[in-house]
Amino acid sequence: MIKIGVKFCGNCNPDIDTKKLFLNLRNGLKESIEFVYWEQDAYEILLVLNGCNVACAEHPIFMGTSIIIAGETLDYVSIIEEDLLLEIERKIEKLK
């Protein structure tokens, strides 16, 4: 089972619901992915969830692969909110 570290921004002015996005992602991938808090465990992929495109969540030093959500973007490519979940799942599947 692959581990993904998760870091959230403070959600001070969100364009998207990062909590809902994360819960849907976790529920959809629970058979093959273990999500862990980014500061408390080792992991292969880092998922940073920012509610808006300011992307204020500091990106910790991490030598592995990162997936950055910043509002309606996935790794700085625009994607409408309704498609983010599917696109994140696709990216994770490619990285496994």
Report domain extents, the chain. 2-95
Distance (Å, rounded) from C-alpha 10 to C-alpha 50? 8
Q: Report the pLDDT value the prediction gives residue 59, as an integer from 0 to 100.
A: 81
Q: Report the pLDDT value the prediction gives residue 46, as an integer from 0 to 100.
A: 97
* Each residue's pLDDT tens digit, 75-92: 999 999 999 999 999 999
Q: Is the pLDDT of residue 60 over 90?
A: no
pTM of the entire predicted model = 0.93
What DSSP assignment string belongs to the chain? -EEEEEEE---SS-SS-HHHHHHHHHHHHTTTEEEEETTTS--SEEEEEESSTT--S-----SSEEEEEESSEETTEE--HHHHHHHHHHHHHHH-
**Band of residue 41 on the pLDDT scale cut at 50, 70, 90:** confident
Is the separation of the CB atoms in 55 and 9 below 8 Å? yes
